[in-house]
Structure 1
Amino acid sequence: MSITRLPALGALFLLAGAAPAVPVTPFAIGALHGTLRADTQTLAQLSPAGEPAFSFVPTAREAERSGDGYNYVGDLDLRLRVAGGTWRDFGSAHRRRPIVALPTPRGTIAAADITATMGDGMPLLVERRWQIDRGALALRFRLTNRSAAAVEIGGLGMPMAFDNIITGRDLDQAHAQASFADPYIGRDAGYLQVTRLNGQGPALLVLPGRDTPFEAYAPLADAAHAPADAVFTEKTRREQTFEGFYDWLVHSRGFAEREWRNAGGQWNAPTSRLLAPGASLEIGVRFVAAPTIRGIEPTLIAQRRPVAIGLPGYVVPTDQSASLFVRAPSRLTGFDSSPADALAVRRAGSIHGWTRLAIRSHGYGPARLTLHYADGQQQTVSYYVTRPLDTTMAALGRFATTRQWYEGKGDPFGRSPAILTYDHEAQRIVDVEPRVWIAGMSDEGGAGSWVAAMMKQLDHPDAAEVAKLERLVDETVVGRLQVADGPHRGGVRKSLFYYDPARFPTLYRDPAAWKSWTAWDAKQAGDLGRSYNYPHVAIGHWVLYRLARNHVGLVTRHDWRWYLDWAQTTIVAMMRDAPYYTQFGQMEGNVFLDILADLRREGMTAEADRIEALMRARTDHWAGLRYPFGSEMAWDSTGQPEVYDWLRHFGYGRQAVQTREVILGYDPTLPSWGYNGNARRYWDFLYGGKTARIERQIHHYGSTNNALPLFDSFRRDPTDLHLLRVAYGGLMGGITNIDRDGFASAAFHAWPDRMQWDAYSGDYGMGYFAHAYAVASYLVDDPTFGWLGFGGEVTQAAGSVTIRPRDGARTRLFIAPAGQWITLAAGRIAAARYAPKTGAITLTLDPADAATPAARLFVARTTPAGRDYAVAGGTAERGGVTLPLATTPVEVTLRPR
């Protein structure tokens, strides 16, 4: 460990390219180097050792962010009151005033009395110290009640101003210079992880000191839209290129009583603290570097922090069990659930130094598990309880095809029959909206619901629902949304709904709401040039092709070839009529690979060759870019899954790995159902939500879509459990959007003033696409945690291990020790028995039903060291094996060749 402190005055910023502003105090502590501003003693730069051109904080924007109202790490926010009084707000960044330097004994880098800059009438003395604590940079505050009355601290926040500002940066610059911060809001065990957009290490961990629980994470308000007297604000404009900064709140009761009083709940119970006259309180955090993103948990253990790992995750259906592995320096003395009956927890032994807690769930909705340690610390883990997944999926299909079914309205826009956006708060279909695509059955915000209903049929076909969806595709998608003939055959319109007050003078309520660019006219709505609409339509055709090809009697309007032809025609039309945005990856574009594979299986070689050539041109372009993840936005998290798949398909392995690592930069694993596998997204409430604002979204469709490359990567390398944990978190996170009625929300509002699901269904269907596309069970033998089942229940017997899938589809299974990816286009897996010694896999398949007299089985080796497997019995057909089913379960044996 190296420790260096240079003179406070005269030294300038170390960051390459940064304009010198004010004198700074440089320091070097182990793996982190940085500087403090000499005038405010806030953190001006924090860089990994040897990387002075990169900073975790917004060093390069120092000149534009100087002065009042700009927050830095080292600032402090307080909400206080005396007995019988009202809450008053104080913030060191609001109106800056000179601070008073204090002595700096050995181990202290800088110290100051910052009371004056907290604001007038401040009843507390506030001292701040930057110190060296156990080889790490530490920030400490000492609050002393200098008044004659007891003071209640109802808000105690430290702004976490890390450089997530993409404004003014191109994609390469953003990936090289910017970072995202993700919170584990877990009280004494909580922490903040700051990861670089390129996914590379080191990552920065902000760890709590004594008496500094991570109780809540609250956004600093955009100063341009906040009341004039608001204190907890940030002048950097919040927009698509800047999510905003947040306060790490140690106490939050003052907010829960005011701004948050109508919220759906909080991650932790809000608290306050009473400070008697003359009494003091110390809080603070430490800054520690983890060598890699995968190294975060080992670093936490090395720092003697409590660590909890939920396997398979923190979304627990009531028919599945889960485990929580706990490792802490202090003995675990107890645990409790809130609600009390939501989680049944028992000790289940230990393994390799980890205490295992076995968990079963009851009821429905969020649940908090609190772990109590002998040293008095408390750790909270946030769970979400759902119904069994097949029940959840059935409810989704039923709701979409009944409550959201729109027909016979004399609709002048041609939206009958249709499945339209739903407003769950108003309990009605949204057939008129100034953001016209939301009511127009296209674009993400309008196509979401019918795409979800369609994808539900892939593994859970219901004859009555399929019949409605056939009509929707035949009469509305091909009949009106899609161009059916002529030179633009297959082109997809932007929206079926549009703004035409001359033609429909009484339709558009509140004229002021229709002045925005979102109120497309008929010409704009009819444009074919938005490529993002094409995968939605291709999915509709592809699902009906799969059902017609692999089942009996479900699809009746056309044969399988008609639907597969329309699927490939849609891809060709996208490249012809919407070429601009095809330079970017498309959300749900992964389905294009399946359409290509099905074309080859069916012997439609000319069509397959044409699509492969079109996709190769895109992929060759991506392979030549440093970060090929652009979109219409400055930065996005939606194109990476398709980019990854085509890079793999065409042999660009290095670039595919880079894509995977970039995903891990914005897609964390944390002990919370909300943030675990929650790929970053914070602006789509503007385009698909009812409560339209820039806000961190929990389980927007990015969660499940970004899981796809991680699942594929894990199947290629089953030793990397981190990939599976993040992927499964995203996969299951995308189910929490579906309520007990079957209504599916666009996303969850993460800000503590709301903490509720958005009332619009919006673009949720893009997320359900990826869930239905990827849902599977995984059998894993982990060297630390032993045999694990992700999506299924695992039992062991002499010489074998059995997994019984509960993933909701039961059509996909990965046996990790054998490197075998088993998928069924028809039929379901009731159980799979694996014999490690021989490598044999025995599947038990469900009995036949009227629509599924035979199973269609595919087996693929995914790892270079794996062996090929042969299926006993059945008939080889179209790259797979067809196996007749019976009135009782059928066993099928797979053996290595």
Structure 2
Amino acid sequence: MAMEGRRRAIRLGRRALLRAGVALPLLAAAPATPPPPARRISARLGGRGDAFRLGCHGGALTSLRFAGDRYETDYVRPGAGLGHAHLRFRRGAGEAWRPLSTRGGAVTLRPGALRVTAAADGLALASAWRLEGATLRWTITLANQGADPVEIGDLFLPMPMATDFAQAPSPLAAVMKHSFVSGHGSHIFWMRSNSAGPYLLLLPERDTALEYWSVQPAAPGETESWCAYLHAAAAEGEARAGGTRWRLPVSALTLAPGARRRYGFRLQWVADYAAARAAIAEAGLIDVELAPGMTIPRDLEVELALRSADPIAAITAEHAGSTRITPLPPRAGYQRYRIGFARLGENRLTLHQSGGRATHLEFFATEPLETMIAKRGAFLAAHQHRDPTRWYYGLLGEWAMDRQRLLGPDDYDRIRGWRIYEVTCDDPGLAKPAFLATKNAEHPVAAEVAALDLYIDHFLWGGLQQTEAEPYPFALYGIPDWKQLRDSADPGPKGRSHVWRPYDYPHIMVLYFGMYRIARDHPGIATRHPASLYLARAYGTAMAMFSVPLRLADWSAYRTGFYNECVIPELVAALEAAGQTREAAALEAHWARKVRTFASPDTDLFGSEYPFDSTGFESTQALARAAVDRPAAMGVTPAAARAFRDRQIAANLFCRGWLEPAYYYLGSDYRAGAGDSYTLTYMAQMGGWAVLDYALNDAEDPHALLRLGYASQLSAWALLNSGAAADGHGYWYPGAGNDGAAAGGFEPAPFGTTWLGQPHHRGAWYYACEIDLGFTGALRAARTILADDPILGRLCYGGALAADGPALDWRPSDGVRRRLALRLADGGADLRLLDARFAADRLVRYDSARGQLDFIAERFAPGTSLRAERRCGRGPWQACEVPIDARGGASIDLPLGA
């Protein structure tokens, strides 16, 4: 996302960029209430010896801290109060909804207890807190004291927590909200950016469920908050009338005269994720573990494990005729199932427990990975501007799915808030050729390679990018309009020298490096230039990233993690292999300097173009990988390398959905703290590569992170609009013209505006924006993993296991078919094929007793052998050359190691 767009969002209000909801029209009729008083604590409910240190004022908690906390984090937003309840009710079906809130109600304060009550037209509403040892109880009570039935259309609880990192005085003064709103199994927790415990966990009691949420002011004039709904029939009905695609069941409540209804929550501190899972299960909610993810290709299946103090009585499917549910033997205290989805798109499972309790899991079924990869590549190449009379001849264009319209500099949806740089340069424009080149290095198609060369020769070289003969060789023009900048009469850094935006350089480096790989590895595919030229331009672009912005704008590329720069070590290796040792050493020196910068404990891992950003974790994992694997070459100590590695994976996990089992949360990156913004962005998959890399190379017990990392790298494929004709050619925006188009993010809120101010109604955007960065990360992460998971049993990530025993047989379906990881009970091993892939639809066999891998190879070029790299356990990688027979058969020794 470009600087100008982010600055505009901050001008509109720092939370406007990330807000997923707006104030509900239904609240307009509510009476105005005074804003909360200036922050002061008029009473404490607990002393310093308790688990909670609480302050209250006006019937709400104005301070909530962990007793003895070394960071002194206050979880309640300054000036706000937690604990008020709001509802809308009516006495007759034809009446208008009327509001009632505990704000301004009668307050009762006793040692360890706080209660506030309010009433209107015979309906009483109370909200109460009580300390019970290490637990803080929150109860909401309704009582119909009138003579007629009363209908509650909405009952919601604002959660004004300290989730604004941009406004916080320090990163540890704000907390990230993780929430799963999905019936009786709902839960919410808040954690700090250093991932240090304890986490604050909110769990509903067994008779309490959450069914809806929105970000809104609780009343006119108040600051908006994330609001959880216990009943939402009125709010959801009005949102549905406005076009929302909210999918979870909602309810209203009718109270007879004299009837009461109580709802309860418990707040407690938990040490970490494992403790949170245990607490969820012990409370009778459901701890959900699964693999390979909740975005699931239809040729693969989900292994599902459920743990709860209250057993799951049944699972029902939204599309029963298209869903396979196979019970499996229990394991490690979990009930287990195998699930297969045949219906494209969103698929809901409902988990039933005693007492009519229900929890909903939302999955998304896609086409097979290779089908989607092929469709995306073909779509991008087919939507290239091909008019040679236009200055943007060769541009790979943006596509508006809702209108099925190709955008470009002469029509870039300006009236709907889109900007010219989103269709020509910056991350949205440059992500597309970067993905297309990376895709073709794996699965080359002559027409797509030709489209890339057209882009390079007519749009990029000598246009968006300066040539070697210009003042700043390999420099890239920035935003808002690179063509205007190049043609400007101003020679300074706001005109013709506006080539100092370092974020753009890695995308073009990856483009050239992908073209180099195509020319090097696929001699049957014609390219306009030799491999050496593409390699030289990849190197020149990488070097310019480190030098030009620093020279012109004092903008250091060493202090910020950039998307796609994780390819630099591979580019260094390619330069060395080509005999360009001087160039390799020069580029690695820059990379090592960046490693040293990030290995410093003072470096902010969240800083980017705005104060809190989750976009750098692909880069920081690559930097940590270099530090840990080659500390001497990078100029860091082994201890500093390990400390950096651990700090950055903790930061990655902090802003990633893990305990939230919905396809648009699990594995997705979260933005700005509250977790209310769009999800499934490009960082879901890029950061997923990072989690997988850590799991496979660093984690003592890899399995929990293998589940999360694989779910992450699959997650945003849900945003690729692809499908067969019977599926309407796609789920989000049907029509043959949209088959292979993509969305840049998912909006989980029932309604609101995107970061550009465009209205949404829950669902996928109609622009691709930056999502091809995520697809590129997914290509890097793609691999088949065989693992003996302690909860799920033997798994085949990215493949279908055909035989399970001493000899394992499977069909690889990971999208690339070049990488294999074994994480079995007897040890681990890894393999990557350099100039071939595992054959499609042919079984691969691993004999663990002999440590032998047998497969049929698809060679990139004719030959009698293939090149590969392997490692045993965590030993060094070793190059090997493997003979193949006439039918492509190959055998590789791949012994397991500790």
Q: Sort the TM-score into its range (normalised by shorter chain).
A: 0.7 to 0.9
CA pair 31-458 structure 1, distance change in 2 beyond 3 A: farther
Deviation per residue, 1:68-107 (Å, 9 max, x gap): xx5x3212121323323355353648xx4252327x5xxx
Mapping of residues 568-583 of structure 1, within 5 Å: 568-579=539-550, 580-582=555-557, 583=559
Shift of 1:577: 1.1
Shift of 1:680: 0.9
Picking from 358, 372, 384, the partner of 1:405 is 384
- 2:829 is matched with 820
Shift of 1:490: 0.9
The amino acid across from 1:767 in the alignment is G
Q: Which sections of structure 2, spanning at least 5 residues, go unmatched?
A: 1-37, 632-640, 723-738, 752-760
Picking from 402, 421, 426, the partner of 2:403 is 426
- 1:340 is matched with 320
Shift of 1:739: 0.9
| Matched-pair contact (CA < 8 Å) for 1:820–1:861 | yes
The amino acid across from 2:153 in the alignment is G
CA pair 889-712 structure 1, distance change in 2 beyond 3 A: same
Deviation per residue, 1:823-867 (Å, 9 max, x gap): 2233222444334444x140413344668986442224562xxx5
* Range 714-723 or range 767-776, more displaced: 714-723
Shift of 1:633: 0.6
The amino acid across from 1:407 in the alignment is R
- 1:79 is matched with 88
CA pair 51-672 structure 1, distance change in 2 beyond 3 A: same
| Matched-pair contact (CA < 8 Å) for 1:498–1:525 | no
Deviation per residue, 1:682-719 (Å, 9 max, x gap): 69xxxxxxxxx996112011111211221111112261
CA pair 555-49 structure 1, distance change in 2 beyond 3 A: farther
Shift of 1:526: 6.5
Provide the C-alpha distance between the structure 2 equivalents of 1:628 and 1:474, rounded to a whole number of angstroms: 39
Matched, 1:859 2:843: no
Shift of 1:584: 0.7
Mapping of residues 147-186 of structure 1, within 5 Å: 147-169=146-168, 173-174=170-171, 176-186=172-182
- 2:846 is matched with 834
- 2:432 is matched with 449
Query: Percent of aligned positions with the same letter in both sequences?
Result: 22
Provide the C-alpha distance between the structure 2 equivalents of 1:810 and 1:842, rounded to a whole number of angstroms: 14
Picking from 287, 291, 296, the partner of 2:267 is 287
Provide the C-alpha distance between the structure 2 equivalents of 1:79 and 1:438, rounded to a whole number of angstroms: 45
Deviation per residue, 1:603-630 (Å, 9 max, x gap): 3211111011112222222222434322
- 1:216 is matched with 212
The amino acid across from 2:476 in the alignment is V
Picking from 825, 844, 850, the partner of 2:855 is 844
Provide the C-alpha distance between the structure 2 equivalents of 1:30 and 1:701, rounded to a whole number of angstroms: 45
The amino acid across from 1:572 in the alignment is M
| Matched-pair contact (CA < 8 Å) for 1:334–1:373 | yes
| Matched-pair contact (CA < 8 Å) for 2:474–2:544 | yes
* Range 43-52 or range 417-426, more displaced: 43-52
Shift of 1:29: 9.9
| Matched-pair contact (CA < 8 Å) for 1:857–1:883 | no
Picking from 50, 54, 57, the partner of 2:72 is 54
| Matched-pair contact (CA < 8 Å) for 1:188–1:377 | yes
Matched, 1:493 2:512: no
Provide the C-alpha distance between the structure 2 equivalents of 1:28 and 1:705, rounded to a whole number of angstroms: 45
The amino acid across from 2:441 in the alignment is L
| Matched-pair contact (CA < 8 Å) for 2:350–2:361 | yes
| Matched-pair contact (CA < 8 Å) for 2:872–2:894 | no
Provide the C-alpha distance between the structure 2 equivalents of 1:265 and 1:30, rounded to a whole number of angstroms: 47
Count residues in correspondence: 800
Deviation per residue, 1:280-315 (Å, 9 max, x gap): 111121112221134321232333432221222212
| Matched-pair contact (CA < 8 Å) for 1:190–1:379 | yes
Matched, 1:594 2:574: no
The amino acid across from 2:407 in the alignment is V
Shift of 1:206: 0.9
Picking from 613, 620, 638, the partner of 2:596 is 620
- 1:197 is matched with 193
CA pair 50-742 structure 1, distance change in 2 beyond 3 A: same
Q: Which sections of structure 1, spanning at least 5 residues, go unmatched?
A: 1-18, 222-230, 237-243, 505-520, 684-692, 871-878
- 1:751 is matched with 749
Provide the C-alpha distance between the structure 2 equivalents of 1:793 and 1:216, rounded to a whole number of angstroms: 36
Mapping of residues 462-481 of structure 1, within 5 Å: 462-481=445-464
| Matched-pair contact (CA < 8 Å) for 1:497–1:525 | no
| Matched-pair contact (CA < 8 Å) for 1:398–1:742 | yes
| Matched-pair contact (CA < 8 Å) for 2:336–2:792 | no
Deviation per residue, 1:793-840 (Å, 9 max, x gap): 2344442333432111111111123432322233222444334444x1
Shift of 1:888: 4.5
Provide the C-alpha distance between the structure 2 equivalents of 1:891 and 1:292, rounded to a whole number of angstroms: 44
| Matched-pair contact (CA < 8 Å) for 1:441–1:496 | no
Deviation per residue, 1:452-511 (Å, 9 max, x gap): 33332232221221121122123222231111123411111115846979x99xxxxxxx
Picking from 711, 721, 732, the partner of 2:692 is 711
Residue aligned with 2:165, SS: coil
CA pair 115-341 structure 1, distance change in 2 beyond 3 A: same
Shift of 1:437: 4.5
CA pair 20-738 structure 1, distance change in 2 beyond 3 A: closer
CA pair 782-694 structure 1, distance change in 2 beyond 3 A: closer
Matched, 1:24 2:13: no
Provide the C-alpha distance between the structure 1 equivalents of 2:350 and 2:708, rounded to a whole number of angstroms: 22
Residue aligned with 2:94, SS: coil
Shift of 1:143: 0.7
Picking from 655, 661, 678, the partner of 1:671 is 661
| Matched-pair contact (CA < 8 Å) for 1:449–1:761 | no
Residue aligned with 1:406, SS: coil
Matched, 1:306 2:306: no
Provide the C-alpha distance between the structure 1 equivalents of 2:657 and 2:346, rounded to a whole number of angstroms: 19
Provide the C-alpha distance between the structure 2 equivalents of 1:846 and 1:30, rounded to a whole number of angstroms: 66
Picking from 763, 770, 779, the partner of 2:770 is 763
Matched, 1:321 2:324: no
CA pair 20-188 structure 1, distance change in 2 beyond 3 A: closer
* Range 736-745 or range 589-598, more displaced: 589-598
The amino acid across from 1:442 in the alignment is C
Matched, 1:259 2:268: no
Residue aligned with 1:664, SS: helix
Mapping of residues 853-892 of structure 1, within 5 Å: 855-861=866-872, 863=874, 867=875, 879=879, 881=881, 886-892=886-892
| Matched-pair contact (CA < 8 Å) for 1:494–1:525 | no
| Matched-pair contact (CA < 8 Å) for 1:668–1:676 | yes
CA pair 737-885 structure 1, distance change in 2 beyond 3 A: farther
Shift of 1:675: 0.6
Matched, 1:549 2:549: no
- 1:739 is matched with 721
The amino acid across from 2:454 in the alignment is R
CA pair 91-675 structure 1, distance change in 2 beyond 3 A: farther
| Matched-pair contact (CA < 8 Å) for 1:150–1:275 | yes
Cα RMSD after superposing both structures:
3.0
Provide the C-alpha distance between the structure 1 equivalents of 2:514 and 2:544, rounded to a whole number of angstroms: 19
Shift of 1:109: 2.6
